[in-house]
């Protein structure tokens, strides 16, 4: 086995109270792809900063292979005093690095290099930071929530780019699909320690559940042993004094072991305060159009949204998703066309922009509006501390300023504020940003139980597949089309059109210039025999792979499989990972060929 590029050994760190990291061990070998999983507040970001050499632990050692280059992507990049994005990216290059990589990556990520970092949006800032860490082609990439604020086209480009590189990866992300596609091993940071398996994220949840079940059984056995020893203490002490003293000491040790046990973190209790039922028809839009000058945002769009629908809206940053939602919900008037809102409509909105939170206010003040200790939840008063606990905030955090909350804690705070308002229409703009996987599961369940209607803007492909009943996607020039089903269903229906959109993030002006510069006299391209054959056979192959994956998943769904048949568990996990890889490759190839076929037909 190759020596590790980076090694953390017996890392310990405490910020007062319960230790955050207690003897953490992490080894990353050349080319290894690790997903770092853990609850919000478990110390994932802190551990990544320790690995990057930015935080000094209380004790333990950090070793980096001499000559190895490490690049760290924080959740909130610091651009310093650089005047342009190009200058910022070039500042991360060593003297021997290829400076053309800086401009190339910025262009691939839809930036010109001339942008002022001080004026970047969240998505633009994240793309510039990605170019900064990718440009030197480092040996180790430490990525903290790399998909936050990115649109689908950039996420899929980033997946392809990272997959093609030889760099070792350590990734923190809430995006299940991103982790599944890239990871090959999993490090689970749980209650201050790391448990690690040599399998990617696809195997994580079933393995985690088995570990927790085994731990629960062990604690039950410990409790029973303590009860037995206490019974002996009350009824069997007489005689055998020396042996009894030793047994009493063992009982004290068992009690200490039970007392020091750190149980798993609680689960968020998310529930939307529901208003009276709306009418069956929630929103009806007919031929609505909206433009800003010459730029068309929405062109002749019509839809009917009925009670209980879960509508997903996707598209690149700047495509007009928020404008479309505002038009549909009555927050903005269309230039032409009509929008009719149903009867008895009560709307609650979660805005992705957390700037609406006053950073100087406390957590309790942000929930109550600064008015006492009560918050109105569904029209009824509830003590703010009790409501905080529903969203996994400790009582001690009541007076914590918003500005020191983590990204995940701010996300839960925004959800808490939005869900307190009685509603029968939920409008959620990027609700998954920064939330841990367990909270995402609870949010998904809450939306499933919600009797009202949901409009969801999201770039999380897995979350869309789990939640929505239809997807609205942009076709360009203001045209939007609605597809039945989730994101994967839309992919199957949309085919080549989506591939053209997601090939890489690129400014529209650049695309126009490229089309104008294309030589008109170029010889007409034709599909080869192999390309035609692949177009015919790949759909059947993808269908077979989908069936194989479903069959394998049913085997892994057995919660006792890991304990009773480890070999079957390992073989099935490897087979399902291989099938996912083959399916991704087949889908990618089919989309490329379909795009090529359409371009040839239109030439």
Q: How far apart are CA 52 and CA 47, in angstroms?
A: 9
DSSP 58: S
Sheet of 470-476, strand order:
347-350, 425-429, 453-457, 310-313, 470-476, 479-484
Among candidates 175, 189, 186, which has minimal Cα distance to 40? 189
Write the DSSP string, 320-357.
SHHHHHHHHHTSS--SEEEEEE-TT--EEEE-S-GGGS
Element (H, E) at 464: helix 461-467
378 has pLDDT over 50:
yes
544 has pLDDT over 60:
yes
Q: How confident is the model at residue 348 (pLDDT cuts 50, 70, 90)?
A: confident
501 has pLDDT over 60:
no
Higher pLDDT, 514 or 69: 69
Higher pLDDT, 411 or 264: 411
15-47: pLDDT as tens digits:
766 788 988 999 999 999 999 998 877 889 999
95-110: pLDDT as tens digits:
888 889 999 999 999 9
* pLDDT of the residue at 148: 87
495 has pLDDT over 70:
no
Six token digits for residue 80: 């310093």
385 has pLDDT over 70:
yes
233-242: pLDDT as tens digits:
555 544 444 4
465 has pLDDT over 60:
yes
- Determine what percent of the chain is predicted with pLDDT higher than 90: 36
92 has pLDDT over 60:
yes
Q: How confident is the model at residue 529 (pLDDT cuts 50, 70, 90)?
A: low
516 has pLDDT over 60:
no
* pLDDT of the residue at 543: 84
134-160: pLDDT as tens digits:
999 999 999 999 998 888 889 999 999
231 has pLDDT over 50:
yes
For the stretch 16-23, contacts whose Cβ atoms lie closer than 8 Å and that sit 24 or more positions apart, written own/partner, are 18/192, 18/262, 19/192, 20/46, 20/192, 21/46, 21/47, 21/50, 21/57, 21/192, 22/191, 22/192, 22/193, 23/60, 23/192, 23/193
- The β-bridge partners of 35 are 171, 186
* pLDDT of the residue at 500: 43
Residue entry with tokens 């942000």:
366
Tell me the pTM. Answer: 0.67
333 has pLDDT over 90:
yes
DSSP 395: G
Q: How far apart are CA 381 and CA 71, in angstroms?
A: 49
Q: What is the mean pLDDT of residues 219-229?
A: 69
| Strand pairing report for 193-197 and 185-190 | antiparallel
Higher pLDDT, 57 or 417: 57
Higher pLDDT, 352 or 125: 125
* pLDDT of the residue at 272: 72
């Amino acid at each position: 086995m190759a020596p590790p590029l980076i090694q953390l050994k017996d890392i310990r760190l405490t910020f007062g109270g319960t230790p955050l990291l207690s003897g953490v061990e992490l080894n990353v070998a050349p080319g290894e792809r690790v997903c770092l999983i853990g609850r919000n507040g478990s110390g994932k970001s802190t551990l990544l900063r320790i690995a990057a050499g930015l935080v000094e632990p209380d004790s333990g050692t950090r070793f980096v292979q001499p000559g190895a280059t490490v690049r760290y992507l924080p959740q909130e990049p610091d651009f310093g005093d650089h005047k342009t994005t190009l200058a910022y990216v070039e500042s991360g290059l060593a003297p021997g690095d290829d400076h053309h990589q800086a401009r190339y990556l910025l262009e691939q990520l839809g930036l010109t290099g001339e942008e002022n970092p001080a004026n970047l949006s969240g998505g633009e800032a994240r793309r510039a930071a990605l170019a900064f860490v990718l440009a030197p082609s480092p040996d180790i990439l430490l990525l903290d929530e790399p998909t936050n604020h990115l649109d689908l086209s950039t996420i899929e480009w980033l997946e392809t780019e990272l997959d093609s590189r030889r760099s070792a990866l350590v990734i923190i992300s809430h995006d299940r699909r991103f982790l599944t596609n890239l990871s090959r091993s999993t490090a689970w940071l749980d209650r201050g320690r790391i448990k690690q398996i040599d399998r990617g994220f696809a195997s994580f949840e079933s393995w985690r559940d088995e570990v927790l079940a085994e731990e629960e059984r062990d604690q039950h056995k410990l409790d029973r042993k303590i009860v037995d020893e206490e019974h002996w203490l009350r009824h069997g002490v007489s005689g055998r004094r020396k042996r009894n003293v030793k047994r009493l000491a063992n009982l004290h040790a068992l009690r200490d072991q039970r007392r020091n046990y750190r149980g798993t973190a609680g689960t968020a209790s998310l529930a939307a305060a529901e208003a009276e039922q709306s009418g069956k028809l929630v929103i009806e839009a007919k031929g609505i159009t909206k433009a800003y000058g010459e730029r068309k945002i929405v062109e002749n769009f019509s839809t009917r949204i009925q009670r209980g629908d879960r509508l997903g809206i996707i598209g690149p940053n700047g495509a007009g998703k928020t404008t479309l939602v505002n038009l549909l919900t009555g927050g903005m008037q269309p230039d032409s066309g009509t929008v009719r809102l149903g009867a008895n409509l009560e709307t609650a909105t979660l805005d992705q922009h957390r700037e609406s939170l006053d950073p100087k206010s406390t957590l309790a003040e942000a929930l109550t509006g600064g008015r006492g200790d009560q918050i109105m939840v569904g029209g009824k008063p509830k003590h703010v501390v009790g409501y905080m606990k529903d969203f996994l905030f400790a009582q001690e955090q009541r007076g914590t300023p918003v500005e020191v909350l983590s990204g995940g804690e701010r996300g839960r705070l925004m959800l808490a504020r939005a869900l307190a308002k009685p509603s029968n229409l939920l409008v959620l703009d990027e609700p998954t940003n920064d939330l841990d996987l367990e909270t995402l599961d609870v949010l998904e369940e809450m939306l499933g139980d919600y009797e009202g209607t949901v409009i969801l803007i999201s770039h999380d492909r897995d979350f869309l597949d789990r939640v929505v009943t239809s997807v609205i996607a942009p076709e360009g020039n203001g045209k939007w089309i609605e597809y039945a089903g989730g994101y994967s269903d839309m992919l199957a229906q949309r085919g080549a059109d989506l591939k053209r959109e997601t090939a890489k993030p690129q400014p529209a002006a650049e695309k126009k210039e490229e089309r104008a510069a294309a030589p008109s006299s170029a010889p007409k391209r034709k599909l080869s025999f192999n390309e035609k054959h692949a177009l015919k056979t790949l759909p059947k192959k993808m269908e077979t792979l989908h069936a194989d994956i479903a069959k394998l998943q049913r085997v892994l769904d057995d919660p006792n499989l890991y304990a009773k048949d480890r070999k079957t568990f390992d073989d099935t996990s490897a087979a399902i990972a291989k099938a996912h890889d083959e399916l991704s490759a087949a889908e990618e190839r089919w989309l490329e060929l379909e795009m090529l076929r359409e371009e040839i037909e239109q030439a």
